[in-house]
Amino acid sequence: MASPELQMVLDMLKTMMPIRPELSIPEMRAQMDAATTAMPPPEDVAFTPVDAAGVPAEWTRAPGASRDHTVLYLHGGGYCIGSIKTHRQLCAAISRAAGASVLSIDYRLAPEHPFPAAVDDARAAYRWLLAQGAKPQNLAIAGDSAGGGLTVAALLALRDSGVALPAAGVCLSPWTDLTGSGESMTSKAHLDPMVQKEGLDKMAAAYVGEKNRRAPLASPLFASLRGLPPLLVQVGTSETLLDDSTRLAENCKRDGVEVTLEPWEDMIHVFQAFAFILPEGREAIDKIGAFLERNWGRL
What whole-number distance in Å separates Cα of residue 220 and Cα of residue 160? 13
List helix spans (H) across the chain. Answer: 5-16, 25-37, 88-98, 117-131, 146-160, 184-187, 197-208, 242-254, 279-295
Q: Which position among 69, 87, 104, 239 bears the catalytic label?
A: 239
Residue 139 phi/psi, 5-degree rounding, is -115, 155
Q: Which position among 145, 173, 238, 245 bears the catalytic label?
A: 145
Kindly give, in sequence order, each residue whose CB lies less than 8 Å from that of residue 133, ignoring residues fewer than 6 positions away: none
Kindly give, in sequence order, each residue whose CB lies less than 8 Å from that of residue 23, ignoring residues fewer than 6 positions away: 31
What whole-number distance in Å separates Cα of residue 160 and Cα of residue 215? 14
145 is catalytic: yes
User: Is there a contact between 235 and 269 (Cβ–Cβ < 8 Å)?
Assistant: no
Kindly give, in sequence order, each residue whose CB lies less than 8 Å from that of residue 119, ignoring residues fewer than 6 positions away: 150, 153, 154, 157, 217
Q: Which position among 75, 219, 269, 280 bears the catalytic label?
A: 269
User: Is there a contact between 144 and 173 (Cβ–Cβ < 8 Å)?
Assistant: yes
CA-nearest of 69, 286, 268, 273 to 168 is 69
What whole-number distance in Å separates Cα of residue 20 and Cα of residue 16? 10
83 is catalytic: no
239 is catalytic: yes
What whole-number distance in Å separates Cα of residue 99 and Cα of residue 45? 12
* Active site members: 145, 239, 269
